[in-house]
Amino acid sequence: MVQGLLVLAAGLLATAALGQAVTHVYDTVFADERLRDEDEAQQRLDQAEAPFTAAVDPDLSTLDSAGWTIVLDRALTPAEQHSLKAVKVRATVGYGRDVWRILGPLGARVIGSKPFMEAGPFSMDGPTTTFKLHLFSGRSSQLAITEPR
């Protein structure tokens, strides 16, 4: 009986070893095809995502200078007017940011007095709106943005 159990155990070990060897040979033979299939699946998943997301932040650095304007495309409510009138007018740096804290959340835009690209190929004179554009991509493939307008 003990001898039969030993033969059975040896048979099971041989079968397991043979199974491992067959699995190793199969993995080796079909590794390139499996990797190609995985790469194609990853590319399909990658292409299913949006190419990029964008966030635009106003450039508030113009509020630290003397020449700035904040524009809101609608009339202020009486409560908003009251909040704005409560801002203490001062000729120091920071006044523009105090006004922005009230008007910015309402959808206002900052307009500075001078463009930041003064050395560029185009001469711009007069008020300009500047902003910071943040582009993000979660794709693993490369993304190129050319000729933004």
User: What sections of the chain are H helices per DSSP?
Assistant: 2-29, 31-48, 78-85, 95-103
Sign of the C-alpha dihedral computed for residues 87, 89, 94 and 100 taken in this order:
positive
Quick one: which of 36, 108, 99 has its CA closest to 64?
Answer: 99
- 7: Cβ contacts below 8 Å, ≥ 6 apart: none
Per-residue pLDDT of 95-140, as tens digits, reads 888 888 899 999 888 887 655 555 555 555 566 677 778 888 888 8
**12-34 confidence digits (pLDDT tens):** 888 888 888 888 877 787 778 88
pTM of the model: 0.49
pLDDT digits 0-9 by tens, 52-78: 888 888 878 778 777 778 888 999 999
CA 120 from centroid of its chain's CA atoms? 28
What is the per-residue pLDDT for 122?
55
